[in-house]
Structure 1
C-alpha cells in the first residue's frame, strides 16, 4: 500500500497549494485532504478529501482517524497557522511525527510564546498582555512608547497598530478588542479579546526558514522582508539575505536557541525577527512553512531544493536533504490595492513579462471583486504577485523595483 500524507487545508493561492501537492507526488505520497471548503484541484492530485470544520479539533481528529483506517498514513502536515493546534493533536492521535500538543499553543499565542522564552531575555522586547482597559494602562507604563499593539492569536500581520504616544492607545485597543472575536474570524476562538503590547523594535526585518527532525535544527536560510507602514503589511521578500556574515550568524544563533527553548522537535518553522545593526530581536515564530511564496518558490529557486518536499520528509519521519544547486537568489513582490473599492485589473502586465528573471506573474483577485484595506480588513488587498530569480539578492531587488514601477493596480472607489 502506498504511503499517504494528510494535509490540513491548503495555502490560499494556487501557486502555493499546487507546489505542496506536487511535492507530495514527487515523493510518492498520496494526498489526503481535510478541508473547510472543497478544493478546486485536479482529481489526480488528491487521493481523497473530506470536508470538515477544521477549527473544531475534535472533528478534525475524528476525520483524520477515519482516513487512517482506509489508508496507510505516514504523516500529517499543515501549511498555515490556523491548523497548527489541530495538526499537532491529529499527529499525536495517529502516533506520527509532529509538534507536541502540549507545546503547540505556545506557537499560536504571542504572549505565551514570549513568556516561554524568559530564559532568553536578550532576544525579547518589553511586553505585556492586555485584555481590558486597566491592563492597557499598566502595560503602557511598563512598555513605554513607541510600541506595537496586536492580537496574541492572529496570523499574517493581521491587526498590528503602532503606538507613538498615549493618544494612540485607546483607539487601537477599542478597534482590536472589537476585531479579535470568533464571529469576525474563527482564528480568534482561542484568544478572544487578548492583545499584547510590546516595545517597538527598530532595524531591518527578516525571517528564518528551517526544519527540525528528531530535535536537530536545520536552517534553510534567512529572508529579507519589506513591510508597509503603518500596519506592517509584508510587501516584498528576497531570499537569501543580503545581511553581512556576522549579522547572519547572529540571526541564525538566535533562531536555533529560540526553537530549542520552545520545544519544537519535529516540524518546520518560520521565525520573524529584526536586526538593529548590533543584535537580533525576536518578533515571533510560527510552527509552519513561510507564506507569500517564500518556502514554496523562493527557497527552491535559490537553492535547488524543495522546502515543501523537506517539510513532507520531516512530517513522515525522515531528515531533510541539503541544498543541491549553486547559490542563487529569488524574490517576490506583492501588488496591493491602493484603497478600498472594486478591483478591475493590474495594468502593465505585458511590460512586466519582459523583466529579466521573471518566473511567475499572477493575479490572485477576480476582476469585479470588492477590496477592503486595513484597518477595516487585512486579507483582501493583496491583488497579485511577481516572482523573480537571479544571481544575487541585489539583482533580484533591482528586478522587483522595476516590476513595482510597471505594474499598477486599478481599483475603482
Structure 2
C-alpha cells in the first residue's frame, strides 16, 4: 500500500499550495486533505478531500483517525499557523513524527514563547503580557518606549502597533482588543483580547528557515526582509541573506538555541529576528513553513532544494536532503493597495514581463474586489507579487526595485 500524508488545509495562495501537492507527488505520497473549505485542485493530486472544521481539534483528530483506518498514513503536516495545535494532536493520536502537543502552544502564543525561553534571555526583547488598559500602562513603565503592541496569537504580521509615548497606548489597545476576537477571525479563539507589549528592536529584519529531524536541526538558510511602517507589513523577501558570514553565523546559533529550548524535535520552523550589527534577538517563531513564497519558491529557486519535499520527508520520519547545486538568489516583491477602495487592475504588467530574472507574476485579487487596509484589515491589501531569480542578492534586489516601480495597483476610492 502506498504511503499517504494528511495535509491540514493548504496555503491560501494557489502558487504555494500547488507546490505542496506537487512535492508530495514527487515523493510518491498520496495526499489526504482535511480542509475547512473545498480546495479547487486537480483531482489527480488528491487521493481524498474531507471537509471538517479544522479549528475544532476534536473533529480534526476524529477525521484523521478515520483516514488512518483506510490508508497507510505516514505523516501529518500543516502549512500555516492556524493548524499547528491540531496537527500536533493528530500526529500524537496516530503515533507519527511531529511537534508534541506539550510544545505546540509556545509556537502559537508569543507570550508563551518568551516565557518558555527564560533560560536564554539574551535573545529576547523586554516584554509584558497585556489584557487591560491598566496592565498596558504598567507594562509601558517596564518595557519603555519605543515599543510594539501586538496580539499574542496572531499570524502573518497582523495587528502590529508602534508605541512611541503614553498617547499611543489607548488608541492601539482599543483597536487591537476590537480586532482580536474569534468573531473577527477564529485564530483568536484561544487568545481573545490577549496582547503583548515588547521592546522595539532596531536593526535589519530576517527570517530563518529550517527543519528538525529526531532533534537534529538543519538550516535551509536566512532570508532578508523588508517591512512597511507603521504596521510592519512584510513587503519583500530576498534569499539568501546578504548579511556577512559572521552575522549569519550568529543568527544561526540563536535559531538553534531557540528551537532546542522550545522542544521541537521533528518538524519545520520559520523564525523571525532582528540583527542590530552586534546581536540577534527574536521577533517570533512558528512551527510551519515560511509564507510569502519563501519556502515554496525562493529556497528552491536559489538552491535547487525543495523545502516542501523536505518538510514532507521530516513529517514522514525521514531526514531532509540538502542541496548540492551552486547557490543563486531569489526574491519576492509584494504589491500592496495604496488605499482602501475597489481593486480594478494592475498597470505595468506587460512591462514587468521584460524584467530580467522574472519567474512569476502573481495576481491575488480579482477586479471588483473590495480592499481594506490596516488598521481596519490586514489581509486584504496584498494584491499580488512578483518572484525573481538571479545570481546574487544584489541583482535580485535591483530587479525587485524595477518591478516595484513598474507594477501599479489601481484601486478606486
Alpha-carbon displacement from aligned partner over 1:322-350 (angstroms, at most 9, x marks no partner): 11211100000000000000000111000
TM-score by length of 1: 1.00
- The aligned counterpart of 1:45 is 45
Q: Whole-Å Cα distance in 2 between the matches of residues 88 and 367 of structure 1?
A: 39
Distance in 2, Cα, partners of 1:131 & 1:341: 33
SS state at 1:284 partner: strand
1:333-412 to 2 correspondence within 5 Å?
333-412=333-412
Residue in 2 that maps onto 1:318: 318
Match status 1:8 vs 2:38: no
Report the counterpart of residue 93 of structure 1 in structure 2.
93
The secondary structure found in structure 1 opposite 2:20 is helix
Structure 1 residues 5-154: aligned runs within 5 Å: 5-154=5-154
Deviation digits for residues 228-260 of structure 1 (CA, Å, limit 9, x no counterpart): 000000000000000001100000000000000
SS of alignment partner, residue 409 of structure 2: strand
Aligned pairs for 1:276-315 (under 5 A) are 276-315=276-315
What secondary structure does 2:221 align onto?
strand
Secondary structure of 1:7's counterpart equals strand
Provide structure 2 residue ranges, at least 5 long, that are not aligned to the other structure: none
CA distance in 1, matches of 2:352, 2:152: 39
Q: The residue matched to 2:122 in structure 1 has which SS?
A: helix
Q: Secondary structure at the match of 1:299?
A: helix
Alpha-carbon separation, structure 2, partners of 1:33 and 1:21: 10
Corresponding residue for residue 184 of structure 1: 184
Give the distance between the partners of 1:246 and 1:209, measured in 2 at CA: 18
State the alpha-carbon separation in 2 of the partners of residues 43 and 298 from structure 1: 27
Q: Secondary structure at the residue paired with 1:196?
A: strand
Per the alignment, in what secondary structure is the counterpart of residue 54 of structure 1? Answer: coil
Determine helix, strand or coil for the equivalent of 1:219: strand
Q: 2: CA distance between counterparts of 1:272 and 1:139?
A: 23
Unmatched runs of 5 consecutive residues or more in structure 1? none
- Structure 2 distance, partners of 1:102, 1:355, is 48
Distance 1:365 1:40 in 2: 17
Provide the C-alpha distance between the structure 2 equivalents of 1:79 and 1:380, rounded to a whole number of angstroms: 20
Q: How big is the shift at 1:302?
A: 0.5
**Count, aligned residues:** 413
Matched, 1:174 2:174: yes
Query: Structure 2 CA distance, aligned partners of 1:387 and 1:183?
Result: 34
State how far apart, in whole Å, the 2-side matches of 1:365 and 1:175 are.
26
Distance in 1 between the 2:344 and 2:6 partners? Answer: 37
Separation (CA, whole Å) in 1 of partners of 2:10 and 2:98 = 18
CA distance in 2: counterparts of 1:208 and 1:179, whole angstroms: 29
- In the TM superposition, residue 2 of structure 1 has moved relative to its aligned partner by 0.6
Distance of 1:384 and 1:192 partners within structure 2: 30
Aligned with 1:12: secondary structure?
A: coil
With 307-316 and 63-72 compared, the bigger mean Cα shift is at 63-72
CA distance in 2, matches of 1:3, 1:193: 42
Q: Partners in 1 of 2:70 and 2:359 — Cα distance?
A: 39
SS in 1 for 2:49: strand
Shift in Å at residue 134 of structure 1?
A: 1.9
Structure 1 partner of 2:193? 193
In 1, the alpha carbon distance for the partners of 2:63 and 2:326 equals 43
With normalisation by structure 2, the TM-score equals 1.00
Cα drift, residue 138 of structure 1: 1.2
